[in-house]
């Protein structure tokens, strides 16, 4: 049975302004799992990563300072990229409204900013935050409620970036038998070094400011949690981090910068040739690293600055590789690895389109 949006018991908009997004996630209580124990359970296949969550701590003063540096360094670029993507969506979506479906959590800030930009262009635009879980699929309860309210024609999926393309593959797998969606689902991201998105502002692996923090820049919600008894996917609301929350301030700062921009050229979807070149280069790097470190499960390879950084924060890293250790965009990663006692290896062009990669430690 399909439930309507009004029948779903959700966490609302988290710490976002109410109109910015509607989370289609249910609040859950879940016992936290130590990072090392979580890693052991994942790799021994006793539990799926989406069935556990570790404690999310407040960012340290140094972490906050590095976020501020990333915001100063890359905020204007993010604002320009948001505008470029919004212009492209305004052209591509010809129906009466545009429905942005952001994946929690990395897609949330981009989705909020895109909605504001599209409304500024005179478009009717709705924005929802839903869950997608690698190897298990998209939250069909949430998606069906959105379709019931708005139809499927102008649904656009939003994520922050791509790493290897696991989420884009999961979207295709989840929707492959659903004729309401195109064969190539509309996935929009800021950075797509592996060529797996439908629309991206660029293929460059750069430090996206909202990728530097977790809940405190994403509405104070956790990453999504698989529902043991079915229904909506879940999340934990991190009220204990409220004094560190920069969610609204971040949105306002980037949106103000976007509104002050001069003329911006719309982004364009990848051509087949561009996609092929990007995919080949990214696949070569991941497979080469897997061979070097004797890795059979590619989920242990986390390419791209954002994924590499999050893996150091949330997982048990074994190796961190960077193109250039003096690169401004990897300084947060360098700080985190130093604090954790992880050696960083500088490998130059061996990383191909990526500027950083983290290898997860094997527990066997």
Is the model's pLDDT at 96 over the cut of 90?
Answer: no
- Tokens 């960012």 belong to which residue? 59
Is the domain of 240 the same as that of 280? no
Domain boundary among 219, 234, 259: 259
Residue 347 burial (C-beta neighbours within 10 Å; 0-12, 13-18, 19+): middle
pLDDT at 1: 62
- Measuring CA to CA, which residue among 244, 206, 236 is closest to residue 332? 206
Is the domain of 20 the same as that of 121? yes
Q: 124-165: per-residue pLDDT in tens?
A: 999 999 999 999 999 999 999 999 999 999 999 999 999 999
Is the domain of 302 the same as that of 179? no
- Measuring CA to CA, which residue among 316, 359, 299 is closest to residue 36? 316
| Alpha-carbon span 175 to 120, nearest angstrom | 31
**Dihedral over alpha carbons 157, 160, 166, 171 (to 10 degrees):** -10
Is the domain of 149 the same as that of 282? no
What's 325's domain CATH number?
3.30.1330.30
What's 219's domain CATH number?
3.40.50
* Mean pLDDT along residues 242-268: 96
Check residues 67 and 1 and name the one with the higher pLDDT. Answer: 67
In a domain, 268, yes or no: no
In 15-40, which positions are buried (b, 16+ CB within 10 angstroms) versus exposed (e)? bbeeebbbbbbbbbeeeebeeeebbb
Is the model's pLDDT at 35 over the cut of 70?
Answer: yes
Is the model's pLDDT at 364 over the cut of 80?
Answer: no
Is the domain of 306 the same as that of 353? yes
pTM of this prediction? Answer: 0.95
| Alpha-carbon span 142 to 5, nearest angstrom | 8
In a domain, 27, yes or no: yes
Is the model's pLDDT at 172 over the cut of 90?
Answer: yes
Is the domain of 251 the same as that of 281? no
How far, CA to CA in Å, does 93 sit from each of 80, 86, 142, 186, 263? 20, 10, 22, 11, 21
Residues above pLDDT 90, as percent of the chain? 89
Is the domain of 225 the same as that of 319? no
Is the domain of 240 the same as that of 300? no
Overall number of domains in the chain = 2
Question: Which DSSP string corresponds to 252-280?
Answer: HHHHHHHHT----PPP-PPPHHHHHHHHH
Domain boundary among 227, 259, 291: 259
Q: Tokens at residue 12, please?
A: 């609302």
In a domain, 296, yes or no: yes
pLDDT at 357: 98
Is the model's pLDDT at 119 over the cut of 90?
Answer: yes
pLDDT at 262: 86
Is the domain of 236 the same as that of 150? yes
In a domain, 266, yes or no: no
Q: Tokens at residue 70, please?
A: 């990333």
Q: What range does the domain containing 206 cover?
A: 5-259
Domain boundary among 259, 294, 326: 259
Is the model's pLDDT at 23 over the cut of 80?
Answer: yes
In a domain, 319, yes or no: yes
In a domain, 328, yes or no: yes
Q: 177-219: per-residue pLDDT in tens?
A: 999 999 888 999 999 999 999 999 999 999 999 999 999 999 9
Position 4 confidence tier, pLDDT thresholds 50, 70, 90: confident
Is the domain of 94 the same as that of 162? yes
In a domain, 264, yes or no: no
Q: Tokens at residue 51, please?
A: 């069935």
Query: Taking the CB of residue 254, how many other CB atoms lie within 10 A of it?
Result: 25
pLDDT at 2: 81
Please state whether the peptide bond connecting residue 105 to the residue before it is cis, i.e. omega within 30 degrees of 0.
Answer: yes
Is the model's pLDDT at 69 over the cut of 70?
Answer: yes
In a domain, 214, yes or no: yes
Is the domain of 241 the same as that of 160? yes
Is the domain of 160 the same as that of 242? yes
């Amino acid at each position: 049975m399909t439930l309507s949006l009004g029948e779903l018991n959700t966490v609302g908009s988290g710490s976002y302004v109410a109109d910015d997004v509607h989370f289609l996630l249910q609040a859950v209580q879940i016992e936290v799992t130590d990072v090392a124990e979580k890693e052991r359970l994942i790799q021994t296949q006793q539990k799926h990563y989406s069935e556990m969550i570790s404690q999310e701590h407040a960012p340290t003063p140094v972490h906050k300072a590095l976020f501020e540096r990333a915001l100063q360094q890359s905020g204007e670029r993010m604002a320009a990229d948001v505008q470029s993507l919004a212009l492209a969506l305004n052209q591509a979506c010809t129906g009466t409204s545009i429905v942005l479906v952001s994946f929690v959590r990395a897609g949330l800030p981009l989705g909020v900013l895109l909605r504001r930009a599209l409304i500024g262009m005179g478009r009717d635009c709705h924005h929802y935050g839903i869950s997608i879980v690698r190897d298990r699929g998209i939250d069909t309860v949430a998606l069906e409620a959105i379709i019931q309210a708005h139809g499927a024609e102008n649904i656009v999926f939003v994520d922050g970036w791509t790493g290897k393309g696991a989420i884009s593959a999961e979207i295709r797998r989840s929707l492959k038998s659903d004729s309401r969606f195109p064969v190539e689902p509309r996935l929009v991201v800021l950075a797509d070094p592996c060529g797996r998105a439908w629309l991206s502002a660029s293929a460059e692996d750069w430090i996206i400011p909202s990728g530097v923090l977790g809940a405190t820049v994403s509405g104070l919600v956790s990453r999504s949690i698989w529902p043991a008894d079915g229904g909506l996917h879940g999340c934990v609301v991190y009220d204990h981090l409220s004094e560190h929350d920069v969610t609204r301030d971040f949105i306002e700062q980037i949106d103000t910068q976007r509104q002050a921009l001069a003329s911006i050229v719309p982004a364009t979807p990848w051509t087949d040739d561009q996609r092929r070149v990007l995919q080949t280069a990214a696949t070569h790097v991941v497979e080469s690293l897997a061979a070097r470190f004797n890795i059979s499960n590619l989920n242990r390879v986390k390419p791209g600055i954002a994924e590499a950084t999050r893996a150091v924060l949330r997982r048990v890293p074994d190796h961190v590789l960077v193109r250039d250790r003096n690169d401004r965009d990897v300084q947060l990663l360098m700080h985190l690895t130093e604090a954790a006692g992880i050696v960083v290896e500088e490998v130059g062009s061996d990383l191909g389109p990526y500027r950083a990669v983290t290898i997860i430690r094997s527990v066997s």
